[in-house]
Amino acid sequence: MDALLAFLTSPIFGTPGWFWLAFLVLIITLLVLDLGVLHRDQHEIEMRESLLLYSGYFSVGVAFGGWIWWQLGGTKAMEYYTGFLVEQSLSMDNVFVMAMILGYFNIPRKYQHRVLFWGILGVIVLRAIMIGLGTALVQQF
């Protein structure tokens, strides 16, 4: 029990372990919700459904920033919101590239969500690894 308490209170990359654990639980919950509940069946996603899903996930991101503000203060929240908005703007070129790839390989519209989901999940995992390695490298110097 002492080891668990030490982990939850010790800083990992400058942030308490409990915060990282809460973030991981949120991500896993959203993945289960997306794959297991919202998109259990293969169907063509219409514009309205796509906009609703985007709005929902965008709202989760904004709410998470509010939680950061409440837990860690305004400076950390502004850092988060800056990264969040930069990521939102830079992801638009990814949408264009993925649309070109899906068109080139003639992926049927009803399967495009699944292909995009796993592709984006792979990008997130690789990006997390690179950020973790970069952070560890920066902390060494």
**Residue ranges for the chain with pLDDT beneath 70:** 39
- SS3 for the chain, per residue? CHHHHHHHHCEECCEEHHHHHHHHHHHHHHHHHHHHHHCCCCCCCCHHHHHHHHHHHHHHHHHHHHHHHHHHCHHHHHHHHHHHHHHHHHHHHHHHHHHHHHHHCCCCHHHHHHHHHHHHHHHHHHHHHHHHHHHHHHHHC
- Structural domain count of the chain: 1
Residues 105-141 have pLDDT tens digits of: 999 888 887 888 788 888 889 989 999 999 989 988 8
pLDDT computed for residue 106 by the predictor: 93
pLDDT computed for residue 73 by the predictor: 93
Range of the domain at 43: 2-140
